[in-house]
Chains A and B, each alone.
Chain A
Amino acid sequence: MLNFLRLSSLADVSEMLWADGPVSALIAGGTDLLVRPERLASARILIDISNLTELGGIGVTPDGDLRIGAAVTHQEIADDDTVRRHAHLLAQACAQVGSVQIRNRGTLGGNLANASPAGDSIPALLCLEARVALVARERGRAVPINEFFVGPAKTVMQVDELIESVRIPLRRGRWVSFFEKAGQRKGMCCSKASVAFLAQRHGDRRLTGVRVALGAVAPTAIRVPAAEAALEGQVLTLERARAAAEACREAARAIDDIRSTRDYRREAVSALLLQGLLPLYDRMRALARPRRRSRRRR
Chain B
Amino acid sequence: MSLTIHFTLNGSPVVFEVEPEERLVHTLRERAGLTGTKLGCGIGECGACSVLLDGKLVPSCLVLSAQADGHEVTTIEGLSKNGLSDLQRAFVEEGAVQCGYCTPGMVMAGEAVLRRYQRPTTRQIRAGIAGNLCRCTGYAKIVSAIRKTARRRAHRRSGR
Contacts and interface: CB of A to CB of B under 8 A. Distances in A.
Contact of B128 (A48, A98, A100, A102): A100
Contacts of A3: 1, 20
A3 B127 CA distance: 37
B75 to A, nearest CB: 14
Contacts of B57: 100-101, 104
A186 interface: yes
A187 B125 CA distance: 12
Interface string A47-91: 010110000000000000000000000010000000000000000
B67 A50 contact: yes
A119 to B, nearest CB: 16
Residue from the set A4, A27, A30, A187 with the largest chain B CB neighbour count within 10 Å: A4
Given A1-B1, A101-B57, A34 B130 contact: no
Contacts of B102: none
B45 A105 contact: no
Contact of A105 (B20, B21, B59, B109): B59
A51 B64 CA distance: 13
Interface string A22-57: 000001011100110000100000101011000000
Contact of A31 (B1, B53, B62): B62
Interface residues of B, number: 32
Contacts of B53: 104
Interface of B: 1, 3, 19-21, 23, 43-45, 47, 50, 53, 56-59, 61-64, 66-67, 69-70, 109, 112, 127-132
A99 interface: yes
Contact of A48 (B43, B67, B109): B67
Residue from the set A1, A46, A102 with the largest chain B CB neighbour count within 10 Å: A102
B131 A187 contact: yes
24 contacts: A2-B21, A3-B1, A3-B20, A4-B3, A4-B64, A27-B67, A30-B64, A31-B44, A31-B62, A46-B21, A48-B64, A50-B67, A98-B44, A99-B131, A99-B132, A100-B131, A102-B59, A104-B53, A104-B58, A105-B58, A105-B63, A187-B129, A187-B130, A188-B131
